[in-house]
Amino acid sequence: MKIVCSALYEEQLKAILAAFPTQKAAKDFKLYLDTIIMNAPTKAKKYKQSRYFEEENIKDIEYENYTIPMYVNLEQESYFIIGIVKK
């Protein structure tokens, strides 16, 4: 299993974290988000097809007010985090 985050995701996440009122709040948000992403392969089937893409292998992970599109490649056992957008 391989999880890869795009450069776009990293940039968007930095902007989101910078908007938090405290460093602790940002750290807590990122820690929980990382946990969700690390567990995504075991729960990939529960996520719905992305509303942003018509590809059936792109699923939406929803966390708080954010949606994280993830491309699932079961043949290669890889998961690609595309980005993170506010709902």
Number of folded domains that form the chain: 1
Domain membership of residue 61 as a residue range: 2-86
Per-residue pLDDT of 45-81, as tens digits, reads 889 999 999 999 999 999 999 999 999 998 898 999 9
> The domain that contains 79 carries what CATH number?
3.30.2310.20
The whole-number pLDDT of residue 7 equals: 97
Cβ partners under 8 Å of residue 82, min gap 6: 6, 8, 9, 58, 68, 69, 70, 71
DSSP state of 57: T
The closest alpha carbon to 60, from 45, 71, 50, belongs to: 50
Per-residue pLDDT of 24-47, as tens digits, reads 999 999 999 999 999 988 887 889
The whole-number pLDDT of residue 12 equals: 97
Q: How many CB atoms lie within 10 A of CB 1?
A: 10
C-alpha R_g of the chain: 13
